């Protein structure tokens, strides 16, 4: 079992600050700025969660994802958000990303592995009920020497439920 960095380690503070700042950008729907927090080779994936017997050895459906994206596809989704063709988000959702249980692991001098829990609150218009989505995330942060900051190189999102209780996944986690 890998040992997490202590909470007073500067790299843990930096990783935690990265996640808090990212949550702000997503809540404020500043998606262009959010894209800038990612490496060009980002891998952003959310496997489909399944319920299996305890000894099955897996809890996601092999080869099935809610989304499996790279920088190009994320950029296209963000660009679409600025058009009149984003019917799933018109009117826009009201979002709040709660990030907690942050644990940071030292991969090597240029990378940090960061585990966190996320609770997304989403409100849609005046007639739909609000929705909560709970998930765990495993992120790989990479140090960008040219910009002197951490950037997101990989994110794996694991929902805590097999059946998602929202109409669509037109938001970012």
Question: pLDDT over 90 for what percent of the chain?
Answer: 68
Is 169 domain-assigned? no
Count how many domains the chain has: 1
Q: What is the CATH number of the domain that holds 80?
A: 3.10.450.50
Is 47 domain-assigned? yes
Is 164 domain-assigned? no
Cβ neighbours of residue 154 closer than 8 Å, sequence gap 6 or more: 42, 43, 44, 138, 139, 140
Is 153 domain-assigned? yes
Structure tokens at 92: 């826009």
At residue 77, does pLDDT exceed 80? yes
Is 40 domain-assigned? yes
pLDDT reported for residue 84: 81
Question: pLDDT over 70 for what percent of the chain?
Answer: 94
Is 3 domain-assigned? no
Query: What residue numbers bound the domain in which 14 lies?
Result: 10-159
Read off the pLDDT band of 91 (50, 70, 90): confident
pLDDT in tens, 111-149: 999 999 999 999 987 767 889 999 999 999 999 999 999
Is 166 domain-assigned? no
Read off the pLDDT band of 57 (50, 70, 90): low
Is 93 domain-assigned? yes
């Amino acid at each position: 079992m890998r040992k997490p960095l202590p909470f007073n380690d500067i790299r843990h503070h930096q990783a935690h600050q990265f996640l808090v700042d990212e949550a702000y950008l997503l809540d404020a729907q500043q998606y262009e700025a959010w894209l800038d927090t990612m490496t060009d080779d980002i891998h952003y994936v959310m496997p489909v969660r399944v319920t299996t017997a305890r000894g099955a050895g897996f809890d996601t459906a092999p080869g099935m994802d809610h989304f499996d994206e790279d920088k190009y596809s994320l950029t296209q989704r963000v660009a679409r958000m600025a058009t009149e063709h984003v019917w799933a988000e018109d009117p826009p959702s009201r979002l709040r990303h709660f990030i907690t249980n942050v644990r940071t692991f030292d991969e090597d001098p240029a990378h940090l592995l960061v585990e966190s829990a996320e609770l997304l609150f989403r409100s849609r218009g005046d007639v739909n009920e609000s929705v909560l989505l709970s998930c765990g995330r495993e992120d790989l942060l990479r140090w960008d020497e040219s910009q002197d900051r951490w950037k997101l190189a990989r994110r794996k999102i694991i929902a805590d439920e097999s059946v998602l209780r929202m109409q669509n996944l037109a938001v970012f986690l």
